[in-house]
Amino acid sequence: MTHRSRNGGPPKSQRPGKSKGGRRPKLHHPPAASELVESAGPRAYSTPAAADVLGLIRSAVPAVDGADFAETVQRIKGLLYDRRWLGVFCDAALLPAYVGRWVPSRALCYRDLLGGLDEVRELLALSAVDAGDGDSGSEDEEERAGEGAGPAPREGGRKRVLSVGGGAGSELVALAAVLRGSADVAPLSHMYEWTGLDIGAWGPILASLSASASALSVPLEHHYVQADILKTQPALPRADLATVLFTLTELLAQSKAGTLAFLAHLSRAVPAGGLLLVADSASDISEFALGDGGRTWPVFFVADALLAGRGWEKLGGEDSRWYRLEEGVGRDWPCKLENVRYWWRLYRRV
């Protein structure tokens, strides 16, 4: 996971897919940043309220209200700016502050992304997005949050999600919130297992986040695998949905060969029909060389080149999308929570 999401508004609007002079860019030229198509994304579930999701995170991570929180966050920022990722994620003393600073916005962003994709909802047997007015925090939300998740799941009715780079728990919190939003529309009929895969000692933090998220009353279990995926190929659980969120750029920057080997290993864990969701920051898009010519390409182009047509079918994606916090959300957080600008791709295993 990275720190590259920054606050701010989108660039001035222009006609999507058009370059200067009205001509569409050729495929073999990487698109300029000004040519990326902006999207606000589809509306996802309206419950639970964003403020309630933040409350779950805050109760799970006491470091957020610690006296040295701001100082520790600044230290982390310095390490991330220097791309010393392992200096952060392999230092257990820094992990709680990292969660308190970066997980809130990410969890809400991922909640909207997962809940807004029809293919993901269908694969995970979730309800269609409710037809309400989209306002968060309805009067009966507290009453619904205390209810169960509906009838017991049928025998063998399990859905499994694997999150690469998910140690900080953004994906776990997001999935729990999506399940609650779906259950508020119609009862859930499956059990859900989420597995995080990361290099750091995130186990205690994930356990705390899972315990806090139990207040959402959804049938969700969590597991954690700690491994350096660029050097080893750990045993991976079968996954109906795999996610690589705000992680691919870091992996490629550290080892392209190791990343390629791991993507092949990950592909073997996802059966035909399973999905792979990849997303990363669009505020500071890294470029990587492909082939022998030395030409560099945006990381989302690299993702397509490595996956589409190589055991995966590309279903959709956007080069730039914004998640913006609702007015007033996070106002009392000890640090400023930022909007998230990101790109995403969704692939189906074939």
Q: What are phi and psi of 90, to 5 degrees?
A: -105, 10
Is the pLDDT at 17 greater than 60, yes or no? no
The pLDDT value recorded for residue 3 is: 40
pLDDT above 70 for 18: no
Q: What is the pLDDT of residue 58?
A: 97
d(C-alpha 191, C-alpha 38), whole Å:
36
- Tens digit of each residue's pLDDT (9 = 90 or more) over 196-250: 999 999 999 999 999 999 999 999 999 999 999 999 999 999 999 999 999 999 9
Phi, psi of 194 (to 5 degrees): -115, 135
DSSP string covering 228-262: -TTT--------SEEEEES-HHHHHHH-HHHHHHH
> Regarding predicted confidence, which is higher, 95 or 42?
95
Length of the chain: 350
Burial of 34 (0-12, 13-18, 19+ CB in 10 A): exposed
Q: Which helix (H) or strand (E) holds 106?
A: helix 95-116
What whole-number distance in Å separates Cα of residue 50 and Cα of residue 333?
13
Average pLDDT on 141-158 reads 47
Average pLDDT over residues 166-173: 98
Question: What's the pLDDT band for 38 if we cut at 50, 70, 90?
Answer: low
pLDDT digits (tens, 9 = 90+) for 93-109: 999 999 999 999 999 99
* pLDDT (mean) for 255-272: 96
223: β partners: 195
Q: Residue 63 pLDDT > 90, yes or no?
A: yes
Predicted pLDDT of residue 135: 38
Q: Residue 161's pLDDT band (boundaries 50, 70, 90)?
A: very high
How far apart, in whole angstroms, are the C-alpha atoms of residue 245 and residue 222?
17
Calpha distance 293→206 (Å, rounded): 43
